[in-house]
């Protein structure tokens, strides 16, 4: 469990992903792997050509389609190599020392799963090559990555710059406690001022949980500002982020069985969709 894996797809966010992954690799003292997945498009079959055309014509079209698919696959391979070479050059100029290029066939999620044992952090862009950068859509892979990966995920949003502070969205639940433990044990955010924020009524139980999280982080060398703010989670986090000029937000994902709820109609989902700062998702 050592490498920072940057998911590079050739979209407009690839440069942002590369920049973020170089920063993370330097912070963590980890090698950087730039990965491009060659995902197979849904293939057209004989059934797609069924209808009123004759068998001979259909066979001719199938032959042309097969040749076209082979050419497309070859071009995709070459394009992927160029994307990776460009990303490597960019990463090298940004200060990365150990860079590995990895091009794999197959689904991105399956590839990340295969590499999980050697992965320390995954970096991915919020919008992939199938989305426009201005659309606040969750990239087609982010939900699936969060649902299946057991490694921290750094989601870039627009142009990335090294954060000068960060905020932890904390609710005192198991996932949030796990996020606190991971942050405390990692050099990724060490040295950055930490804002630890809970939303809702300041009950004795919440104060105790917040104080314990505060203590854990301080013992590992973090400078922490801890707050419990009345109100609902999303508005509280959004307002605090804006008022304190927060540059990165960290939050815990739900347990494996609840990750679907995490992305469907939840405050976390809304934050991922609408945030204008990078997000660190931890399980």
CATH of residue 175's domain is 3.40.50.620
Are 186 and 85 members of one domain? Answer: no
Residue 229: beta bridge partners?
A: 199
Rounded to the nearest 10 degrees, the angle between the axes of helix 174-185 and helix 204-219 is 20
- H/E element, 101: strand 99-105
Q: How much is the pLDDT for 12?
A: 79
Residue 20: CB partners within 8 Å, gap ≥ 6?
6, 123, 154, 156, 160, 278
Are 128 and 18 members of one domain? Answer: yes
Are 144 and 178 members of one domain? Answer: no
Q: Are 280 and 152 in contact (CB under 8 A)?
A: yes
Best CA proximity match to 100, nearest among 92, 109, 108: 92
Instruction: State the burial class of residue 104 (Cβ atoms within 10 Å of its Cβ: 0-12, 13-18, 19+).
Output: middle
Are 148 and 181 members of one domain? Answer: no
Q: Are 37 and 8 in contact (CB under 8 A)?
A: no
Are 186 and 149 members of one domain? Answer: no
Q: How much is the pLDDT for 205?
A: 96
Residue 122: beta bridge partners?
A: 5, 153
Per-residue pLDDT of the chain (283 residues; tens, 9 = 90+): 699 999 998 877 889 999 999 999 999 999 999 999 987 754 444 455 445 445 566 777 888 888 887 888 788 888 889 999 999 999 999 999 999 999 999 889 999 999 999 999 999 998 644 444 444 444 567 877 877 889 999 999 888 999 999 999 999 988 899 999 999 999 999 999 999 999 999 999 999 999 999 999 999 999 999 999 999 988 999 999 999 999 999 998 754 444 444 444 466 667 777 888 999 999 7
On whether residue 229 sits in a domain, the answer given is yes
Domain count, the chain: 2
Three-state secondary-structure class, residue 220: coil
Q: Are 194 and 224 in contact (CB under 8 A)?
A: yes
């Amino acid at each position: 469990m050592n490498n920072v894996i940057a998911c590079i797809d050739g979209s407009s966010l690839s440069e942002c992903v590369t920049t973020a992954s170089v920063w993370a690799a330097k912070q963590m003292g980890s090698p950087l792997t730039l990965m491009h997945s060659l995902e197979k498009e849904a293939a057209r079959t004989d059934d797609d050509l069924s209808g009123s055309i004759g068998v001979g014509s259909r066979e001719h079209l199938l032959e042309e389609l097969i040749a076209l698919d082979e050419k497309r696959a070859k071009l995709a391979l070459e394009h992927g190599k160029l994307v990776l070479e460009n990303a490597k050059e960019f990463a090298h100029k940004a200060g990365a020392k150990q860079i590995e290029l990895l091009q794999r066939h197959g689904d991105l999620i399956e590839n990340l799963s295969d590499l999980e044992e050697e992965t320390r952090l995954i970096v991915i862009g919020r919008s992939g090559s199938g989305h426009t950068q201005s659309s606040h859509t969750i990239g087609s892979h982010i939900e699936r990555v969060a649902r299946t990966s057991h490694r921290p995920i750094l989601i870039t949003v627009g142009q990335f710059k090294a954060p000068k502070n960060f905020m932890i969205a904390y609710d005192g639940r198991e996932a949030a406690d796990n996020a606190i433990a991971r942050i405390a044990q990692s050099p990724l955010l060490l040295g950055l001022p930490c804002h630890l924020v809970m939303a809702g009524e300041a009950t004795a139980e919440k104060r105790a949980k917040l104080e314990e999280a505060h203590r854990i982080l301080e013992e590992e060398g973090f400078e922490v500002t801890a707050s419990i703010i009345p109100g609902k989670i999303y508005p509280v986090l959004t307002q605090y982020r804006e008022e304190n000029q927060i540059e990165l937000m960290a939050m815990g994902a739900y347990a494996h069985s609840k990750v679907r709820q995490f992305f469907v109609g939840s405050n976390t989902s809304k934050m991922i969709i609408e945030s204008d700062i990078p997000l660190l998702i931890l399980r």
